[in-house]
Amino acid sequence: MSRAMVMNNKEVTMKKMMVAITLTLIILVMSCAQKEPFVLQDCYGFLEQNSRRAQWFDGEVGAVFSVDLELISGNGFDLLLMDEANFAKYEAGETFADYLTGSGLNMQSTLLEVELPETGQYIFVVDNTDKNEGGAVPQGSVIYHIVVALDQ
């Protein structure tokens, strides 16, 4: 093989590598540009009887809040999604309103999604108390797995 042919083969190989690298970078950039939901929480939780766990987050109007919650052991639980004003009422034992499409009472498992109606701070609560009319009746501690995401 002549020296010119060897150089030509090396140039062709280098050009092929450069094209492959460029295509890989384009694919990576495009996949990063696709908006994925932001996972707020993915964990196992434990709640003693008559206790609750609350998580605050900021959401924008039109964002989709989703929660996948599964009871691992224990009785049912309540899942509530509220704004700050209603959370204060909930904590005080007063009548409160929650976003019904984003909440559930006396559940074993749930997959809920709700489009947030306004920009602001929201609170979701996993509840093992008897505060909620028609909700779960605590019969001991509960263990659950929860995945919460926000797609803004």
State which amino acid sits at residue 137. Answer: V
| The pLDDT of residue 135 | 79
pLDDT digits (tens, 9 = 90+) for 23-42: 554 554 444 444 456 777 88
Tokens of 3: 């020296």
Residue 30, pLDDT score = 45
Q: Report pTM.
A: 0.69
**pLDDT tens, 60-73?**
999 999 888 888 88
Instruction: Mark the ranges of the chain whose per-residue pLDDT is less than 70.
Output: 1-8, 12, 14, 17-37, 100-103
Which of 65, 60, 78 has its CA nearest to residue 125?
A: 78
